Structure 1
């Protein structure tokens, strides 16, 4: 028989037993009909035993605490996690009838006195941890005999931490690339069989409803996928649910090729004798604001789009290069004009 074909048995009972009362120990799981044995624990001296059998798995030892008080509070015998039900029982000696039963947590009453001996919570939270005890009045022996039970510590363990949302390969992907959002959390070993459901949100809108997969696939990211994301992990009964911190996704635009090379103007030629030197071209003024007519700060669109700023810079440099070339052309025209005027003043040459 394979070990993995059934769940391991669980030995359970109330955490505290009252002397002279009877409690049943129940083993939930497969029943062994083969060879089995029960051996005292090694150097434990606490009454715990180890169970051995061929082809079977067995429960962990359970410690029983026997009390000789008139009134005790019976609590959970196994570790309790968020979302588990909690049942506390106020038990009297030999089951004598009680009245005005009151339950307390950390010294504060959890309700008015009444006839009910049990206090239950459908799904506990970590805030329910504390020291519990009960008080009651015995109806017999003797009229109106009040008693108070010793406190029992109840510690509610975290079922799973708040999830963390991560983006793979990066929260700033290039447009058109694939992105995977992972809602990451971890269950304790004792509750590894618990099923969690995951959901994803963008802002206040659900992107994907609850499902077993902790991942959300985006095959091709676009600018519309940019935004603030968060995820939620919850148990199937919704007794425990937790949200992740927000994660900003910023999809980058497509990469652009390098800037075109700037024009290299030819070096200026020497000016003809007698001609004034051409004034070097001045740089172009910065673009003026449409409203004031003068230079002003860049518009919000320019400040928010680095690609637009880059293209405008290239355009300004090219305009300056064109201005320089126009200056050189003007100087060439002046040289040619001066040369033509000089030839006109000399007149036609005479034949000898």
Structure 2
């Protein structure tokens, strides 16, 4: 439960004097309130719910409050000053190694998670032009305080610094589905969201298909296909980026397969394919193939024979002949196998009947 307290003018003046006294021995820091002001009378009660973590700013009876800033007064010889506002991906980050009463420093070294970020030097600041999530960690600095300081090396207490995600990697959505019907409209949506602290920022979106750009950077997170066709099938993904392109993220790939006409539609008439040159069966002769003889017709002597009328395609006709010949050969092999099995069965029966007679 967090509350907002209102002081009387005299009490507020006393608090300001106390705060100024704490900083007078070391340095002076200014606190500035930015944003719209209001002179309406208002009251804030402890039972008012002001703790919603999702809301950065909240209003109570006409007043608008900023998010809280934690003020830490330190009496150390050396402190590391970091930004008071949250740091997001793409922001510039500046850290300052501050000495008591701003005494001069030498051999200043900055550390992250205990590892030095560079050799000792005279600069009291270190800057990161474009902050990334990997820059999060515990920072501190060390330095030697020169005259009028003690002239001894000092180290500042670690400061935890978190670089927040500016926006999550986008997700590509397809409407009505990833398998749309041919001729129907399709909408691709690149979905992501900025935090409330950076809601005024602007993102640009790009769309890709099979490694090619189908729509370059633009403010709209949607890409529309008015009439889908089989040519629109493929692997799609999108990209969201800031205007300065300092932060950009891609979505996972999504397969889109445009479906052809439904099976209930009337089938189209099939026209026979034009005659094609038949492959020469097991021959290296360069002479043109002779006309194929007709297949034998069924007869009383060979009731298992087949006949096939010659079709319009000689190549298809030849393939059918080969297939029928293989079937006939298989029937012959099966017939021989049946005969051999019968002979083997008769031989086994004969050996069984002779066996007991020898024992007598």
Equivalent position of 1:321 in the other structure: none
Q: Which runs of 5+ in 1 are unaligned?
A: 1-16, 43-49, 261-275, 296-352
State TM-score, norm by structure 1: 0.63
State the aligned residue count. Answer: 254
Q: Which moved more, 1:175-184 or 1:80-89?
A: 80-89
- 1:22 partnered with 2:18: no
Change (3 A) 1:18 1:211: farther
Following TM superposition, by how much is the alpha carbon of 1:57 offset from its aligned partner in structure 2, in angstroms? 1.8
Note the alpha carbon deviations across 1:206-236, whole angstroms, 9 max, x for none: 1111111110000001122111111000111
Following TM superposition, by how much is the alpha carbon of 1:187 offset from its aligned partner in structure 2, in angstroms? 1.9
Equivalent position of 2:94 in the other structure: 87
Change (3 A) 1:66 1:173: same
- 1:237 partnered with 2:222: no
1:128 aligned residue (130, 135, 142): 135
- Rounded to whole Å, the distance in 2 between the matches of 1:38 and 1:71 is 41
Q: Is the 8 A contact 1:18 1:69 kept in 2?
A: no
Equivalent position of 1:269 in the other structure: none
- Rounded to whole Å, the distance in 1 between the matches of 2:235 and 2:35 is 48
- Rounded to whole Å, the distance in 1 between the matches of 2:182 and 2:91 is 45
- Rounded to whole Å, the distance in 1 between the matches of 2:222 and 2:59 is 42
What SS class does the counterpart of residue 73 from structure 2 fall into? strand
Query: 1 or 2, which has the higher strand percentage?
Result: 1
- Rounded to whole Å, the distance in 1 between the matches of 2:88 and 2:106 is 31
Equivalent position of 1:114 in the other structure: 121
Q: Which runs of 5+ in 2 are unaligned?
A: 1-22, 48-56, 269-299, 321-360
- Rounded to whole Å, the distance in 1 between the matches of 2:33 and 2:222 is 39
What SS class does the counterpart of residue 193 from structure 1 fall into? coil
State TM-score, norm by structure 2: 0.62
- Rounded to whole Å, the distance in 1 between the matches of 2:136 and 2:62 is 39
- Rounded to whole Å, the distance in 2 between the matches of 1:29 and 1:160 is 25
RMSD in angstroms over aligned alpha carbons?
3.5
Q: How does 1:209-288 map to 2 (within 5 A)?
A: 209-256=216-263, 257=265
What SS class does the counterpart of residue 67 from structure 1 fall into? coil
1:183 aligned residue (161, 183, 190): 190
Following TM superposition, by how much is the alpha carbon of 1:78 offset from its aligned partner in structure 2, in angstroms? 2.2
- Rounded to whole Å, the distance in 1 between the matches of 2:314 and 2:256 is 34
What SS class does the counterpart of residue 26 from structure 1 fall into? coil
- Rounded to whole Å, the distance in 2 between the matches of 1:79 and 1:238 is 20
Following TM superposition, by how much is the alpha carbon of 1:40 offset from its aligned partner in structure 2, in angstroms? 10
